[in-house]
Structure 1
Amino acid sequence: MSSKLLLYLTTTILLSRDVRCYDDKAVEITELLVPESPRSGDDVTLTCRFRLVGYNHRLYTVSWWRGKDQFYTYKGTNIDPKHAYTFNGIQVKKDESTEESVVLENVSEDTSGLYKCEVMGEGPAFRTAVETKTMTVIVPPKQVDLSAWSNPDPLTYRSGDMVEINCTATGAKPKANIKWEINDLPVKERNLMKYSDFEDSRGRVTSKLGLRWRAPDYFRNNLARVTCIAMVGGHATRGSKNIYLDPASSAAFNHQFGAAGSQLPTTWTILSLASILIARSFP
């Protein structure tokens, strides 16, 4: 065999081994965890789990992007592998971040966007895998207020009175989904009063939903506890009030002569109101 032929065969074998070595290498992202709707002010952890396929295949970089902004890189070959960059709405907690996770501090509406994890294997192949997910930071209502049309203290009604209460969820983004409960049970559609929303210049929405029913319905032992729940992106903000039924009026309402206007003694009325005040002093 000539020396030229031997050199050709040796070179071909070595090159084929290198090609096969490159072909055997791959990068797979096995799981990308990006919270879909975290709450404004929270710290958020983004996780990108991956697998490097192939003999002696080592990590080159893990890079995180929001849109066109690259805010974190982990370089596996560096002594100091972590590199973090600050953008509007993005502040990385570098000490708590790793090759698979990056922690964002105190997220806000500006943090929202399309997030990309890019994992690259070491050269010369530089195999790469990319996955993306969207995160939208929500703003819960600043407060949930319950207000009655008539505002006695305590909130006390007589049998036959119309109980009317509004729940207002202020400054949510996106708008809050409001629902009512009485004594921990959902109310019927006919007991709801719907109002138009108000949206401010920042896109934050104030919503209101009313609740109405005629006493003594829904009262148990002369008490009804109403709760308003404002839901935004899976986060709930609640407000509750205790409403009392005048037991004197309840007795008159149910008395066989009540419809004829029979009057209960003044002493009984005073004692009944006193019992309401005593009941409110206990949790």
Structure 2
Amino acid sequence: MFYSAVKQEILCLLVLSSLSELQSLSKIAMRIPTFVQSGESADLTCSYYLDSNSLYSIKWYKGRHEFYRYMPGEDPPTRVFPVKGMKINMTASDHVRVVLEDVVSSLSGEYLCEVTVTPTYFAMAETANMTVIDFPSRGPEIVVGRPEYQAGEQVGASCTVPASNPFSTLAWYINDEPASDLYVSRLTDYGINSENRQRLDLKFPVLQSHFKNGRVKLKCLATIAGLYWKTAEINLTQEHPKVFPIFEGADPSASRSSPGTVPYAEMGFEFSLIFWYSFQQYFRP
């Protein structure tokens, strides 16, 4: 019984000691940029509090691949492991900080910092995600069917922007007001097509109330994570119904024909010319 009690006491002391060591190392903090533009540098830091422990190693991982190690007991203390597309500034990197230069989109993903101490060789780790943004090569562009519309007609427009990583978020505005979802065609994956362009369509019935001083302003906004903000605008002008001349004896309603149709009076005149031409050809001596 005596030895059993001693063993339990020793086990409790070891557990408490282990928890104390673990707690002292639990004060680590990892900071990396959530978003960084392609071609720029990324500063990765891993701060820790050792208390009475000694640092054994600092290891950095991207996913499952270790790319940087710092071990003060070795000579030299730093060691790097190749990761495709990764360039490490060794002069600026140390036991707390790793600086990546000229980052590319393939470096997006999860990063892990692992701190190990002696004499217990306890290890703690923190993770964080970083996204490398490839901005579009140019801003959004708007294409419409025609520049003029009458009230009651349907407007069709497309907004395109070169592909990016991650995808741009596209949005339509009519007279600076967000367009209703009923008017917007949200294509799958924002409609990446063969030309590597994202596309968002807009179709809506233009009303008289849409025209402000005879114009309707359409705007397309492209954003990426609050770091990219580009717009394209176009003004549509109001087209008024065309008034056609009324021939004597013609139906007055003919002057109200819709654009692109021929009034009844003009149709009758053209029919008379065709009939006279045919008569002349038939009875020619």
TM-score normalised by the chain length of structure 2: 0.61
Deviations 1:17-73 (A, max 9, x none): xx89x855442243223444544334322222211122xx33333221113432223
Q: Which amino acid aligns with 1:166?
A: S
| Equivalence map 1:165-184=2 (5 Å) | 165-184=157-176
Q: CA deviation at 1:111?
A: 1.0
- Equivalence for 2:31: 33
> Shift in Å at residue 210 of structure 1?
2.2
1:169–1:208 Cα contact (<8 Å) kept:
no
Residue number in structure 2 paired with 1:46 = 44
CA contact (8 A) 1:63 1:73 kept: yes
| Displacement of 1:120 | 2.1
1:240 partnered with 2:240: no
Change (3 A) 1:200 1:163: closer
The corresponding residue for 1:124 is 119
- What residue in structure 2 maps to residue 280 of structure 1? none
Aligned pairs for 1:33-182 within 5 A: 33-54=31-52, 57-76=53-72, 82-121=78-117, 123-143=118-138, 144-150=140-146, 155-182=147-174
Q: Which runs of 5+ in 2 are unaligned?
A: 1-13, 244-254, 257-285
Amino acid aligned to 1:125: T
The aligned counterpart of 1:186 is: 178
Q: For the Cα contact (< 8 Å) 1:216–1:245, is it kept in 2?
A: no
Residues 159 and 198 (structure 1), Cα distance of their counterparts in 2 relative to 1, 3 Å cut: closer
Percent identical among aligned pairs is 24
Report the Cα distance in structure 1 between the residues aligned to 2:186 and 2:235, rounded to whole angstroms.
21
Q: Using the alignment, how far apart are the partners of 1:98 and 1:221 within structure 2?
A: 64
In 1, the alpha carbon distance for the partners of 2:89 and 2:177 equals: 43
Letter in 2 for 1:181: Y
- How far, CA to CA, are the matches of 2:63 and 2:218 in structure 1? 44
Q: Contact between 1:162 and 1:215, CA under 8 Å: does it hold in 2? A: no
RMSD (Å) for aligned C-alpha atoms = 3.7
Structure 2 residue matching 1:53: 3-state secondary structure: coil
Deviations 1:217-248 (A, max 9, x none): 434334444322234455444231130435x8
Determine the C-alpha separation between the residues in 1 that align with 2:54 and 2:179: 60
Q: Separation in 2 of the partners of 1:63 and 1:249?
A: 72
Post-superposition offset of 1:84: 4.0
* 8 Å CA contact 1:97, 1:103 repeated in 2: yes
CA distance in 2, matches of 1:112, 1:36: 10
Alignment partner of 1:209 out of 180, 195, 201: 201
